[in-house]
């Protein structure tokens, strides 16, 4: 399938996206957040909770207080000068010991130790990444579109069991949905969890459990199975760190989702997304952006161009954080009202357009959700058309439509039916991609060209107004968010000249090169 696109327009779009990303990045590089510093603690090996159940990374960062602006690394490393591990220091602090500022003469050693601790963490992350490559070598990679399903029982044990069932049924990627509103809590829960609504918590232990469950069935199903969670909300970089250490393969990790859909403060999110993405990039994790959500609050027929404009921006911000295109899973969705005449042609046009605009990105295609109803037979049919468009336009990651989308989180059998339908449609329709092409000047091609023009126009306005302004005006997802509103602003601090973060020092120099991989 090919489309006639104005290459000049495409080039302009990329240019505008870089222009829009620059100030956001400058802002992120001039600030830090409690989540970023907790991430330093985690990567230094701090884990566990105190008697009140407060995670030790939070204990340490709380202990920093106003010193947040200088970062956790130096005080923590300095405290380890006596040979203790960061974990032991954290436990001491939890027990009431102070977290002192290192005296000037201790700085060089502390700096050296911090650097070493960072290198160890980095090595562990790269080891996980290597392990993934080895397993993909061994078990092979599935053909695209990858079959992506969610498990959301709210109990990690049921989730693990259903993840295995899904894999046996033919799933290639399993996402464990988080509990409602985890994104709004300013810490990462500890240990395995067996409750939650609409899902259960993203915790390192839960990651480990489902990872093990999938690894267990890989030999049986004979292909590498990918695990996904959400590096999203108020703990973006911390969750990215947990995922990097437990070999997650994908993370929902958007530069704006938290702002728009969880009312998290924009400044906080722009800082957190930068560091979380650096980690995802380093870990070889494919990020999934969340533009699909725009069409749940804005009408799919009119807002298609906002998705594409955002794709350009998300891509630019990801590249700047060192994520190469093959790891940038740009999101979009099949969300035009199915009862709208010509809907399928329009969906086909958008899917094809995005495919051609980002040829190297593993596109994540989201199913119809907002316009599906309790009529499960109708939803089943819409899923079939969604699967058809997915394979006919060469999407890479297909999040399957579930016939009970409007009813409940998926039953095991709902997921099985979805997987069976996707496999059947993908096999039956795969040759359509080389069989059909857009009629020049036909309705589909014209639709694609129109939406591209609208997207570029929006990018021009955003570049003009600036990102913070655009968000305040509700240009994305019809949801206005003030620069100083939302949750988590108190956790943001402007970096002090003395700010030190060994991971940034280790990684930032490599980003440009990494991104061009």
Partner 1 sequence: MPEIVPYGDTLGDGMVQLSFTLPAPADARARELGLQFLRNTGFLEPQIVHIGAADRDMTFYVAYARAPRGVDPAEITASEVEAPELSFSQINALIERELGRRMVVIGAAIESDAHTVGIDAIMNMKGFAGDYGLERYPWIEAVNLGAQVPCERLVREAQERRADAILVSQVVTQKQVHARQLTKLVDLLEAEQLRDRYLLVCGGPRLSNTFAKELGYDAGFGPGSRPSHVAAWMARELVARTTAARQGDG
Ligand X SMILES: Cc1ncc(COP(=O)(O)O)c(C=O)c1O
Residues lying near a copy of itself in the complex (CB under 8 A): 338-345, 348-349, 377-378, 380-381, 383-385, 388, 403, 417, 420-421, 424-425, 427-432, 434-439, 442-445
Binding segment for ligand X (CB under 6 A), chosen from 134-142, 154-162, 225-233, 474-482, is 225-233
User: Which own/partner pairs from 484-488 qualify as long-range (CB within 8 Å, at least 24 positions apart)?
Assistant: 484/265, 484/267, 485/263, 485/265, 486/259, 486/263, 486/264, 486/265, 486/266, 486/268, 487/184, 487/234, 487/262, 487/263, 487/264, 487/265, 487/268, 488/33, 488/186, 488/234, 488/264, 488/265, 488/268, 488/269
Nearer to partner 1, 26 or 375 (CB): 375
Q: Shortest approach of ligand B12 to residue 476 CB, angstroms?
A: 12
Q: Shortest approach of a copy of itself to residue 411 CB, angstroms?
A: 13
Report how far residue 251's alpha carbon sits from residue 451's, in angstroms, rounded to the nearest whole number. Answer: 28
Binding segment for ligand X (CB under 6 A), chosen from 140-148, 236-244, 252-260, 475-483, is 252-260
Please name which of 166, 193, 190, 162 lies closest in space to residue 179, comparing C-alpha atoms.
193
* x/- letters, 259..288, toward ligand X (CB under 6 A): ---x--------------------------
Residue 381 near ligand B12 by CB under 6 A: no
Task: Determine how β-strand 146-151 pairs with β-strand 331-333.
Answer: unpaired
- Looking at residue 393, the DSSP 8-state letter turns out to be T
257 catalytic residue (yes or no): yes
The catalytic position among 186, 364, 365, 414 is 364
Backbone angles phi, psi at 180, to 5 degrees: -45, 130
Q: Shortest approach of a copy of itself to residue 339 CB, angstroms?
A: 7
Residue 376 near partner 1 by CB under 8 A: yes
DSSP character string of 222-257? TS--EEEEE--GGGHHHHHHHHHHTT--EEE--SSH
Q: Shortest approach of a copy of itself to residue 163 CB, angstroms?
A: 22
Task: Determine how β-strand 328-329 pairs with β-strand 331-333.
Answer: unpaired
Report how far residue 103's alpha carbon sits from residue 122's, in angstroms, rounded to the nearest whole number. Answer: 27
- Residue of 232, 310, 380, 395 interacting with ligand X (CB under 6 A): 232
Residue 437 near ligand B12 by CB under 6 A: no
Residues 70 to 99 in contact with ligand B12, rule: CB under 6 A: none
499 catalytic residue (yes or no): no
Look at phi and psi of residue 478 and say left if phi exceeds 0, alpha if psi is from -120 to 50, else beta: left
Q: Shortest approach of ligand B12 to residue 142 CB, angstroms?
A: 24
Binding segment for ligand B12 (CB under 6 A), chosen from 59-67, 400-408, 480-488, 500-508, is 400-408
**What residues are annotated to the active site?**
257, 292, 364
Which residues of the chain form contacts with ligand B12 (CB under 6 A)?
177-178, 180-181, 198-199, 261, 293, 296-297, 369-370, 372, 405-406, 408-409
């Amino acid at each position: 399938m090919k489309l006639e696109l104005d290459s000049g327009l495409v080039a302009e779009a990329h240019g505008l996206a870089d222009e829009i990303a620059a100030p956001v990045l400058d802002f992120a590089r001039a600030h830090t957040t409690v989540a970023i510093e907790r991430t330093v603690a985690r990567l230094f090996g701090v884990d566990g909770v105190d008697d009140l159940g407060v995670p030790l990374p939070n204990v340490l960062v709380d202990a920093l207080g106003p010193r947040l602006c200088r970062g956790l690394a130096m005080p923590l490393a300095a405290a380890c000068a006596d040979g203790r591990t960061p974990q032991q220091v954290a436990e001491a602090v939890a027990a009431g010991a102070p977290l002192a500022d290192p005296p000037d003469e201790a700085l060089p050693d502390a700096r050296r130790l911090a650097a070493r601790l960072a290198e160890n963490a980095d090595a562990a992350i790269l080891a996980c990444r290597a392990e993934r490559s080895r397993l993909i070598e061994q078990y092979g990679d599935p053909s695209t579109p990858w079959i992506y399903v969610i498990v959301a029982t709210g109990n990690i044990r049921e989730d693990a069991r259903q993840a295995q069932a899904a894999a046996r049924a033919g799933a290639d990627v399993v996402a464990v949905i988080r509990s409602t509103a985890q994104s709004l809590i300013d810490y990462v829960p500890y240990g395995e969890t067996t409750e939650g609504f609409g899902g259960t918590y993203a915790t390192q232990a839960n990651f480990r459990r489902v990872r093990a469950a999938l690894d267990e069935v890989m030999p049986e199903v004979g292909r590498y199975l990918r695990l996904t969670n959400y590096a999203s909300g108020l703990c973006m970089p911390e969750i990215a760190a947990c995922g990097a250490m437990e070999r997650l393969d994908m993370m929902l990790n958007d530069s704006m989702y938290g702002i728009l859909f969880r009312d998290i403060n924009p400044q906080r999110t722009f800082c957190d997304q930068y560091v979380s993405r650096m980690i995802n990039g380093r870990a070889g994790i494919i990020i999934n952006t969340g533009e699909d959500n725009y069409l749940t609050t804005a009408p799919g027929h009119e807002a298609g161009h906002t998705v594409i404009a955002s794709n350009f921006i998300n891509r630019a911000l990801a590249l700047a954080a060192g994520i190469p295109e093959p790891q940038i899973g740009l999101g979009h969705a099949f969300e035009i009202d199915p009862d709208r005449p010509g809907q399928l042609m329009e969906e086909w046009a958008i899917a094809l357009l995005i495919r051609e605009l980002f040829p190297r990105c593993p596109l994540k295609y989201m199913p119809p959700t907002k316009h599906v109803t309790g009529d499960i037979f109708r939803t089943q049919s819409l899923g079939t058309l969604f699967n058809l468009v997915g394979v006919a336009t060469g999407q890479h990651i297909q999040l399957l439509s579930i016939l009970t989308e409007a009813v409940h989180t998926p039953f095991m059998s709902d997921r099985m039916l979805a997987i069976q339908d996707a496999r059947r449609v993908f096999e039956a329709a795969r040759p359509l991609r080389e069989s059909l092409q857009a009629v020049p000047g036909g309705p589909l091609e014209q639709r694609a060209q129109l939406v591209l023009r609208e997207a570029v126009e929006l990018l021009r306005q955003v570049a003009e107004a600036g990102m913070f302004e655009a968000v305040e005006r509700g240009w994305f997802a019809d949801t206005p968010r003030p620069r100083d509103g939302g949750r988590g602003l108190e956790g943001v601090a402007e970096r002090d000249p003395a700010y030190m973060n060994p991971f940034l020092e280790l990684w930032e120099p490599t980003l440009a090169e990494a991104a061009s991989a």
